[in-house]
Structure 1
Amino acid sequence: MTGFWGVTRAIVGREFLRFVHQRERFFAALVRPLVWLLIFAAGFRAALGLSIIAPYQTYITYETYIVPGLCAMVLLFNGMQSSLSLVYDREMGSMRLLLTSPFPRWWLLFCRLFGATTISVLQVYAFLAIAALFGITMPPLGYVAVLPGLILGGLMLGTLGLVLSSFISQLENFAGVMNFVIFPMFFLSTALYPLWKMAESSPLLRDICALNPFTHVVELIRFSLYLQFNLSALAWVLASTLVLGLIAAWGYDPSRGMMKRKG
C-alpha cells in the first residue's frame, strides 16, 4: 500500500505542478463558460424564456438553467486538455516509461485521471464563485452536495479523453478530433436547453440528446446543486465510466492495444 500511495502522490503531484506552471489553462477554463453565461445567455433569454422543470420548483432565468451545463463544460474541456497532454507525453516517451512500471496499468491511468479531475473540480468551483458575484446563486448546501457529481462527471469525461488519446498517435490529429467530440457532445445535450425544447424541433435530436452521456453528467450536476438525487443520470455516468475505462485500459496495454502499434 505504501508503494501505491507513493505512485499516486507522485502522479497527482505532477499534474498539479503542470497546472501551476500553465496558469493560462486556469483562465481559459473560466473564459469559455463565462462568455456563455454573460454574453450568449443574454441573447438566448428572450428566445427560450423561463422554465419550470425538475429539479426546479419555480420559474428560473435562463442564466440559472445553463450553469450546470457550463460546469460540465469545464469538466469536458479539461478532460480533453489532460488527454492532450497524454499524447504529448507519449510522443516524448515519458508515458511509455510510466506504463512499464511494476504497478497495474489501470491504477496508473486512474491516478492520472484523478489528478486531472481534481484540478477540473477546483476550476468548476472557481466558475461558480464568479457566477455568484453576478447574482447567479444556488442553494448553499448545493455547493457541497454537487461535489460527488462533479467528481464522477470529471472521471467519466476524463476517461473518454483517455480512450481518444489511446487511439490517436499524433498530437496534431488529437487536437482536430477534440473538436469533433467536444462540440457535438456539448450542443447535443441539455447543457443549453431542456429536452422538451429540443423535442419541439426534432424528436430525433431529442433522442440523441437523451442518449448522450454528457447529458447525464449535466443532469447529475443540476439535480445535485438543488439537493435532489437523479438515479438515472448516476447510472448512466457510472456505466459510461466503466465501459470507457475498460476500453482505455485495453488501448494503453502495450501487448494488445494501440500502444503496441505505435511502438
Structure 2
Amino acid sequence: MNAYMTSLYAISLREALRFVHQRERFVAALVRPLVWLLVFAAGFRAALGISIIAPYQTYITYETYIVPGLCGMILLFNGMQSSLSLVYDREMGSMKLLLTSPLPRWWLLFCKLVGSTLISILQAYAFLAIAAAFGVSAPVAGYLAVFPAFLIVGLMLGALGLVLSSFVKQLENFAGVMNFVIFPMFFLSSALYPLWKMAESSELLYAICAFNPFTHGIELIRFALYGQFNGEALLWTLLADGVFVAGAVWGYDPARGMVGRKR
C-alpha cells in the first residue's frame, strides 16, 4: 500500500511541478471561459432568455447559466492537454520508464488522471472566483458541494484524453485529434444552451446532446453548484468514467492496445 501511495504522490507532484513551470497554461485555461463570460454572453443575453429550469428557482441571466458549462470547458481542455503531455513523454522515452514500474499499469494511469484532474479543479475554482467578482456567483455551500462533481467529471474527461493519446503516434497529430473531439463535444452539449432550446431547433441535435457524456457532466456540475443532486447525470457520468478508463487501460496495454502495436 505504501508503494501505491508513493506512486500517487510522486506522479501527482510531477504534474503539479509541470503546471507550475508552465504558468501560461493557467492563464490560457482562464482566458477561454472568460472571453465567453464577458464578451459572448453580453451579445447572447438578449437573444437567449433562460426560463425557470432546474436547478434554478427563478429566471436567470445567460451569464449565470453558462458558468457551469465554462467550468466544464476548463476541465475538458485541461484533460486533453494533460494527455498531450503523455504523447510527448512517450516520444521522449519517459513514458516507457514509467510503464515498466512493477505497479499495475491501471494504477499508474489512474495516478496520472488524479494529478491532472486536481490541477483542472484548481483552475475551475479560480474561474469561479473571477466570475463571482463580476457578479456571477452561486450559494456558498455550492462551492463545496461542487468539488466531487468536478472530480468525477475531470476524471471522465482525463480518461477520454488518455484513450485518444493511446491512438496517436506523433505529437503533431494530437492537436488535430483534440480539435476534432473537443469542439463537437463542447458545442453539442448543454454547456451554452439548455437542452429544451436544442429540442426546439432540431430533434436530432437534441438526441446528440442528450447522448453526449459531456452534457451529463455539465448537468452534474450545474446541480451540485446549487446544492442539488442529479442522480441521472451522476449515473451516466460514472458510466462514461468506467468506459473511458477501461479504454485507456486497454490502449496502454502493450499486449493488446495501440501503444503495444506502435513499438
TM range, smaller chain = over 0.9
SS of 2:140's partner is: coil
Whole-Å Cα distance in 1 between the matches of residues 197 and 180 of structure 2? 24
What TM-score, normalized by structure 2, do the two folds share? 0.99
Structure 1: tracts of 5 or more residues without a match: none
SS of 2:46's partner is: helix
* Pairs within 5 Å for 1:89-168: 89-168=89-168
Whole-Å Cα distance in 2 between the matches of residues 204 and 26 of structure 1? 36
CA contact (8 A) 1:45 1:62 kept: yes
SS of 2:10's partner is: helix
What TM-score, normalized by structure 1, do the two folds share? 0.99
Whole-Å Cα distance in 2 between the matches of residues 183 and 50 of structure 1? 23
CA contact (8 A) 1:75 1:120 kept: yes
Letter in 2 for 1:57: Q
SS of 1:179's partner is: helix
| 1:49 positional shift | 1.6
Whole-Å Cα distance in 2 between the matches of residues 247 and 178 of structure 1? 17
SS of 2:253's partner is: coil
1:20 matched to which residue of 2?
20
* Pairs within 5 Å for 1:70-81: 70-81=70-81
SS of 1:56's partner is: coil
Letter in 2 for 1:210: A
| 1:256 positional shift | 1.3
Whole-Å Cα distance in 2 between the matches of residues 5 and 65 of structure 1? 39
Whole-Å Cα distance in 2 between the matches of residues 15 and 51 of structure 1? 41
2:57 matched to which residue of 1?
57
Give the fraction of aligned pairs with identical amino acids, expressed as a percent: 75
Whole-Å Cα distance in 2 between the matches of residues 107 and 225 of structure 1? 30
| 1:38 positional shift | 0.3
SS of 2:169's partner is: coil
| 1:2 positional shift | 1.1
Whole-Å Cα distance in 1 between the matches of residues 5 and 203 of structure 2? 49
Letter in 2 for 1:29: A
Whole-Å Cα distance in 1 between the matches of residues 200 and 225 of structure 2? 27
| 1:261 positional shift | 1.4
Structure 2: tracts of 5 or more residues without a match: none
Task: Describe the superposition over 1:11-41 as per-residue Cα deviations: whole angstroms up to 9, x where unpaired.
Answer: 0000000000000000000000000000000
Whole-Å Cα distance in 2 between the matches of residues 56 and 207 of structure 1? 23
CA contact (8 A) 1:250 1:256 kept: yes
CA root-mean-square deviation:
0.6
Stretches of 4+ moved more than 6 A in 1?
A: none
1:40 matched to which residue of 2?
40
Provide the aligned length of Structure 1 versus Structure 2: 263
SS of 1:87's partner is: helix
Whole-Å Cα distance in 2 between the matches of residues 196 and 129 of structure 1? 29
Task: Describe the superposition over 1:16-71 as per-residue Cα deviations: whole angstroms up to 9, x where unpaired.
Answer: 00000000000000000000000000011111023210110101000000000000
| 1:100 positional shift | 1.1
Letter in 1 for 2:183: F
SS of 1:208's partner is: helix
SS of 1:46's partner is: coil
